[in-house]
Amino acid sequence: MLTAFVRAFKTPDLRRKILFTLTVMAIFRLGSFVPTPGVSYVEIQKCRPTGGQTNQFLGLANLFSGGALLQLSIFALGIMPYITASIIIQLLTVVIPRFEALKQEGQTGQAKMTQYTRYLTIGLAILQSSTFVTFARNPEQLFGPSCTNILTNESPVTLIIMVLTMTAGTGLIMWLGELITERGVGNGMSLLIFTSIAAGFPGSLWAIKQRDGRWDTFILVILIGFAIITAVVFVEQCQRRIPVQYAKRMVGRRMYGGTSTYIPLKVNQAGVIPVIFASSMLAIPGLLVQFQQSNPNPPGWVAWIAANMLNHGSPWYMATYILLILFFTFFYVSISFNPVEVADNMKKYGGFIPGIRAGRPTAEYLSYVLNRITVVGALYLALVSLIPLIAFVVINADQNFPFGGTSILIIVGVGLETVKQIESQLQQRHYEGFLR
């Protein structure tokens, strides 16, 4: 593998793409440390150590921003508005016929869908930046009671500039991601998410060492992490290949078809989307409790939510988390893979599954196989997502425990996809690639 990397850097155009990608990733990380105008860098550094523990519902957003959110930097929102916009547009494709028609138009329709995603990203960025600026005016809600003043000026002009700066930062991140996709290696947005999460790994690991104070626990966590990564890589590569045979047919004077291929159905067909959906839904109880903090006599349900739904070690929290992941896994797979559409396309081009009649029987067979695979994939996602919660209870680790949940799924998925793209680039130049 190391030899293949050396060969990749010896190829001029591939070396240029890799260096361009690394440069953009470095610019992205640099922007995570540049404070937004009106924010006191010195004061916010004093407040940061308690930020991740006092506000659990901000953990996911802070994870995707590489820690920039709790620093209120120009890239504080990170890639989260774009992820949310992409998910919303994808869900609306099932509901709005206009979006469904654009999806079927090919490259032209996809370009329009991308443009809609950009507009929605900017809108969400304005909304989220306004929310975080409001929190910044009351920093005890964002960082804890020990933090009282992180803004140098609270005039309306300064607050508007802060909102515009964070929104512009989101637009710049979106542009950087598209540049990587066009001129670099891999998917730009995925690589920026990968950069944000990977940047927090060393700090999270060292926090475990400082909290426990023992090297044997630190080494044990690293070994367990490697075992988890190995298992996740194995499952992410697993797929059920359904054989497809195409009949021979004459088109003019040429004969087409007669080939054999397969439909790859991954075990984790939904990717990391169900975990993101479940984490976002579990943030709602935290927001409800946040709004009730000013009430001197909060209702009983507020105390129950604070004791059970905001405590990561609570059985209620874990059970709700698992059920949400299972539900969103089946929901997302059902809207992303349509067996009826696949069966119709196969029938249109003369394809069939050996032993299965074309048309409705093929769709029923694909649905049957997909449901069985999705059960395994949903249980796998739930198990991986529980790892940080178990670590939170067993070793009192931070809520953003690196080896498990959203972070490990994204890092492994993006890493595998990027390696495959570099591998394909090498194979096009008649090299051996990463594996001999």
**Is 285 a member of any domain?**
yes
Domain range enclosing 324: 202-403
Structure tokens at 139: 């920093």
Query: What CATH number is given to the structural domain containing 65?
Result: 1.10.3370.10
**Is 429 a member of any domain?**
no
**194 plus 280 within the same structural domain:** no
The span from the CA of 269 to the CA of 123, in Å, is 30
Would you state the pLDDT for residue 51? Answer: 38
Would you state the pLDDT for residue 256? Answer: 61
pTM over 0.85? The answer is: no
Mean pLDDT over all residues of the chain? 79
The span from the CA of 388 to the CA of 403, in Å, is 7
**206 plus 339 within the same structural domain:** yes
**138 plus 242 within the same structural domain:** no
**3 plus 116 within the same structural domain:** yes
pLDDT tens per residue, range 226-284: 888 888 888 888 888 888 888 776 666 676 666 788 888 888 888 888 887 787 777 77
The span from the CA of 317 to the CA of 276, in Å, is 15
Last residue of a domain, one of 177, 199, 221: 199
**4 plus 124 within the same structural domain:** yes
| pLDDT value at 53 more than 50 | no
**Is 308 a member of any domain?**
yes
**242 plus 369 within the same structural domain:** yes
**69 plus 188 within the same structural domain:** yes
Residue 111, Cβ density class (10 Å: 0-12 exposed, 13-18 middle, ≥19 buried): exposed
**168 plus 223 within the same structural domain:** no
**Is 427 a member of any domain?**
no
Closest CA to 76 of 85, 89, 67, 86: 67
**Is 422 a member of any domain?**
no
For 358, list phi and psi in degrees, rounded to 5: -70, 155
**55 plus 114 within the same structural domain:** yes
**8 plus 61 within the same structural domain:** yes
pLDDT tens per residue, range 189-229: 888 888 888 887 777 777 777 776 677 777 877 888 888 88
For 431, list phi and psi in degrees, rounded to 5: -95, 170
Angstrom CA distances, 407 to 51, 193, 217, 325, 401, stand at 19, 9, 21, 15, 9
Last residue of a domain, one of 199, 217, 249: 199
Would you state the pLDDT for residue 375? Answer: 92
- Count of domains for the chain: 2
Closest CA to 326 of 408, 264, 387, 383: 383
Last residue of a domain, one of 199, 215, 238: 199
**Is 410 a member of any domain?**
no
| pLDDT value at 176 more than 80 | yes
For 256, list phi and psi in degrees, rounded to 5: -120, 160
| Residues forming a β-bridge with 241 | 264
**11 plus 156 within the same structural domain:** yes
Q: Order of strands across the sheet with 239-246?
A: 260-266, 239-246, 351-352
**Is 173 a member of any domain?**
yes
**273 plus 213 within the same structural domain:** yes
**Is 165 a member of any domain?**
yes
pLDDT tens per residue, range 322-367: 898 899 899 888 888 888 888 888 888 778 888 888 888 899 999 9
Contact 359, 348 (CB under 8 A): no
